[in-house]
Amino acid sequence: MHLPEFILYNSYLLMLNRRSFLTTTAAGLAAATAHAAEGKPNVILIYADDLGYGDLGCYGGKIATPHLDRMAREGMRFTNFLSANPVCSPSRAALLTGRYPTRAGVPRVLFPQDQVGLPDSEVTIAQLLKPLGYKTMCIGKWHLGHLPKYLPTNRGFDEYYGIPYSNDMIPPVVLHATPGKVETVEERATLETLTPRYTEQALQFIEANKGGPFFLYMPHTYPHIPLAASPRFKGKSPHGIYGDVLQELDWSVGEILTALKKHNLEKNTLVLFSSDNGPWFMGSPGHLRGRKGTTYEGGVREPFLARMPGKIPAGKVCHGVASTMDILPTVVKLCGSSPSNPVDGIDIWPLLSGQKQELEREALLYFDNLYLQCARKGKYKLHVARYNSAVYSPAPASGRVNLPLPAPELYDLSNDPDESYDIAPENPEIVKDFEGRIERLMRGFPEQIRKAHAETFAKQTTGSTAAHPRLK
């Protein structure tokens, strides 16, 4: 394209953008008015922290979770729901933006000394729902930047209550924020009473906004360590403090479902439940391999329950692949709008409504920090890279480095969910197809991510090629 042509083209884009902005704004206002009359759906998104795929009763777990089990009976339970990352901050970035955390600018866990957070260029679910007339609140662990400019109240939420990062980060301060105002509730959180206090905040918010519409995002602090339960639950579970904490979370979900019934909001409220990543030191990944911090399924596959009586069929199990990145496009469309940034997730309402059991979609990528490690399409998953040591364990003297595998590993998750039997040698065409997709998809990521990917594959493999059993 010659220079004048380029300038013209960009002026044209600018004009289109301005026009579409004006049209969108006008349409948004009209839609908001129309929906207010129709009764736009309320949305409650409950997000546990470090909960394993195998922890809940309805997923075969040992700990009694009657309220979550009831939610599964009254709604839909997913068996292939993937977090976009195996650790806390990036998985939340993906949940709230519908984009890979490596695209959304939060590829790693944030710490209290960090001066950064979710970039302003990202748009959250709350920011998309606000112009439609939604009241919004975030209760719990934010973990997308703790400085005032990064708090939920600057990202589309009217109110925030909770610890802005993990409860093992010092000091675990409890904040209450409204736009332009941040108060410290506790310099050092009383961890035992967090879940009941979060629940009380949620019940007050629901009651105050029962006229709707509202969006409640409730990212719980637990079962991330250090674990603590209130006297009502402490010591009551036969599965130690983890069991106590999970039973209190389960109770909290029950309180919310009861409040919806009390206010006659059940049919008009979509309730979603999941977790950010797999279990850490305690908790069960079920039959899956790996835990928090790995891209094996145990690190990223999560329980996912969805309930909206009359809209989501009761007692159904969905085996189709879905991702935390699907929540934004699905919820925003249901509420009458559409994403403003390009998103990596898709609208999974055809699954939730029971119209379809599986959706055609591009391969889902699994990143650890900046690095692509695996890809999933349908029942197959290909591993191409891995760190040279496990996370949270002593690193080799040379440092912890992401390295290419001696040869890609292919697993059929439909009959090998624990990723134990590599079938790459027998399926070279599937491996080749995955490699082509990875190469093509990676071209669309920011330069830092493409560079990290190229640097990984310029390195020597995780082990001696000569010693690799497949290559002898």
Residues that bind Mg ion (CB under 5 A): 49-50, 88, 276-277
On whether the CB atoms of residues 338 and 411 are closer than 8 A, the answer is: no
DSSP code for 284: -
Question: Shortest approach of Mg ion to residue 277 CB, angstroms?
Answer: 5
Catalytic residue among 35, 67, 88, 239: 88
**Candidate list 35, 67, 143, 383, residue with the active-site label:** 143
Q: Identify the CA nearest to 118 among candidates 139, 88, 140.
A: 88
**Cis ω for the linkage preceding 396 (within 30 of 0):** no
Residue 50 or 55 with smaller CB distance to Mg ion: 50
Six-digit token string for 401: 């480095």
Radius of gyration of the chain (CA): 22
H/E element holding 171? Answer: none
Between 225 and 385, CB nearer to Mg ion = 225
- Reported as type and span, the H/E element at residue 182 is strand 181-186
Distance, CA of 387 to CA of 251 (rounded, Å): 38
Smallest separation, CB 109 to Mg ion (Å): 9
Written as six digits, the tokens of 432 are: 């080749």
Q: Which residue in 439, 90, 32 sits closest to 276, CA to CA?
A: 90
Amino acid at 33: T
Of 219, 224, 256, 254, the C-alpha closest to 241 is 224
Shortest distance, CB of residue 280 to Mg ion, whole angstroms? 8
Query: Shortest Cβ distance from residue 85 to Mg ion (Å)?
Result: 9
User: In the bound complex, which residue of the shown chain has the CB atom lying closest to Mg ion?
Assistant: 88
> CB of 368 within 8 A of CB of 108?
no
Q: How far is the CB of 398 from Mg ion (least distance, A)?
A: 28
Query: Is 276 or 344 the residue whose CB approaches Mg ion more closely?
Result: 276
8 Å CB contact between 326 and 345:
yes
CB of 119 to Mg ion, least distance (A): 21
Q: Which two tokens stand for residue 247?
A: 């039973």
Tokens coding 77:
């339970």
Nearer to Mg ion, 213 or 299 (CB): 299
Active-site annotation holds for 88: yes
Q: Residue 464 half-sphere exposure, CB side, CA atoms within 13 Å?
A: 3
- For the chain, helix, strand, coil in percent to 5 are 35, 20, 45
Active-site annotation, residues: 88, 143
